């Protein structure tokens, strides 16, 4: 049986995205960290697009690598709005024919 513990959410780089941080563990095994790129599916909720699982030994290496980042980027406050806003566009059949 797999156990998951929600650790937090990070604002995604693109609009309507986030990165969910989850501790995943199996009985008798060392917990791992999973980073999940998710997109807002509106009425469907958050949909996981990609998963990256780090084993226990990689978490310290990730922390060390983050500490090597320039302080102005690492310690900057998170924006309250998405840095990149996706432009919603209605695609017509004519647009689809032109692109093929």
pTM: 0.73
Q: For residue 89, what pLDDT is reported?
A: 47
Q: How many domains does the chain divide into?
A: 1
Give the pLDDT confidence of 28-80 residue by residue, as tens digits.
Answer: 999 999 999 999 999 999 999 999 999 988 999 999 999 999 988 888 887 76
Return d(Cα 29, Cα 48) in angstroms, integer: 24
DSSP letter assigned to residue 43: G
Task: Give the integer Cα–Cα distance in Å for 87 and 64.
Answer: 36
Can you give the residue range of the structural domain that contains 48? 3-99
pLDDT of the residue at 81: 65
**Dist. CA 20–CA 7, nearest whole Å:** 8
Q: What is the pLDDT of residue 60?
A: 92
Choice between 52 and 15, residue whose per-residue pLDDT is larger: 52
């Amino acid at each position: 049986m797999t156990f998951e513990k929600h650790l937090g959410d990070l604002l995604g780089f693109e609009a309507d995205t986030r990165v969910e941080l989850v501790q995943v563990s199996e009985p008798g095994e060392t917990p791992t960290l999973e980073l999940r790129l998710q997109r807002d599916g509106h009425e469907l909720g958050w949909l996981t697009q990609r998963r990256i699982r780090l084993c226990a030994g990689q978490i310290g290496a990730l922390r060390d690598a983050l500490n090597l980042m320039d302080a102005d980027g690492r310690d900057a406050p998170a924006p309250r709005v998405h840095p990149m806003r996706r432009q919603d566009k209605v695609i017509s059949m004519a647009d689809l024919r032109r692109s093929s």
